[in-house]
Amino acid sequence: MSKVLETRLEIDLKALEYNFNFLKSNLSPKTKMMGVVKAFAYGTDSIIIGKQLVKLGAEHLAVAYIEEGVRLREAGVQVPILVFYPQLEEIHNLIDYQLTPSVYTHRFLEGLCKELPHHEVNEIGIHLKINTGLNRLGFELTELDSILNHLEVEPKIKVAGVFSHLAASGNTNEIEFTKAQINKFTEAKTFFETHLEYNFLCHICNSSGILNFPEAEFDMVRAGIALYGYGNNPTEHKLLKAVASLKTVIAQLRTIEKGESVGYERKFKAEHTTKIATLPLGYADGISRIFGNGKARVLVNGKKAPIIGNVCMDTLMVDVTGIDCKEGDEVEVFGKNNTVIDFDIEQQTIPYEVITRISQRVTRVLV
């Protein structure tokens, strides 16, 4: 429960459904959807969102870490769950909870081979991650033969999927680079189709990939930020609906005169008589200090109000001069009427960062 009940993150499942169906409408009917619910479902609620995505038709879910997958399993989620960054010390939980690891190093593959004999399992599926240009994680194309050697050593390990990650699928200036990534991935796909005697899933498209590179949908796509209402460019943003709305109330109003200051370090100094509203929300709730001093705007009774002075740990102040408002009035920090793009007026960061930073002390509410 949050420190102030009026401060809440509203989760709109209808908006989630709209985004899910919109993305599905861009795909072939046979293409599977993997819903990405890592980082508390991009700062919302991974259990609520995960269950709803399965209800909507997501055949797979994805998380960052094993602990996140365990939480979903214990909540009753039964669809395959891909773990992007499995840790060696938690392999036992991965196996016991029937989670699917993303495997991108020989080190993890060797660790999995050593752990399997300690468990009564007939088979474990893995998704092999191939580096095609993001240069973050993944096997190189030159390592594919060596992967087969590991698979021969431990026949219980089966390749359930082969995937990669697009680096710039939302950037119109990088179309050729993205196409080159898709071609490299196709090369890896062909290699494993040639050497494995069973079928497996192939996936490379993220949210922007779904919208911009339909030729690369393969067997499955991974929908992340788009499910929550945002894309990687203005065109994509307009196609989607915000799922999360951060709301609070005006805790106190005051009027200050010319020359008076607001907040720590006196970063704001009034140039004229100014009406100030203090909101019970601060950087401990996820509203970073970078948004202080006029760098972001909230919505007060339908009017834009800039954040002034430095953001505090538990509070922030906004300039409501000329806005008809009173203590207790609702404020939309970001959401349907004041999107993250509208809130972050200087585009200092990306929607991913803003929504995933909302701390767990802010109450989540379904609407």
Known binding positions for substrate: 136, 313
The CA distance from 116 to 147, in Å, is 17
* Both structure tokens of 78: 């039964």
Q: Do residues 33 and 16 touch, judged by C-beta distance below 8 A?
A: no
Q: Do residues 113 and 123 touch, judged by C-beta distance below 8 A?
A: no
Is 3 assigned a catalytic role?
no
The CA distance from 92 to 330, in Å, is 47
Q: Do residues 218 and 15 touch, judged by C-beta distance below 8 A?
A: no
N-to-C CA span, the chain: 17
Q: Do residues 116 and 124 touch, judged by C-beta distance below 8 A?
A: yes
Query: Which phi-psi region, left, alpha or beta, contains residue 312 (left: φ > 0; alpha: ψ -120 to 50)?
Result: beta
Q: What are the φ and ψ backbone dihedral angles of 348, each rounded to 5 degrees?
A: -75, -20
Q: Which of these is catalytic: 3, 114, 264, 303?
A: 264
The CA distance from 118 to 265, in Å, is 59
Q: Give CA separation, 98 vs 27, 77, 107, 209, 237, in Å.
A: 28, 11, 20, 28, 35
The CA distance from 232 to 353, in Å, is 12
Annotated binding site: 136, 313
Is 38 assigned a catalytic role?
yes
Q: Which of these is catalytic: 24, 32, 38, 247?
A: 38
| Residue 235, H or E segment | helix 234-238
The CA distance from 175 to 367, in Å, is 38
The CA distance from 327 to 254, in Å, is 10
Catalytic residues: 38, 264
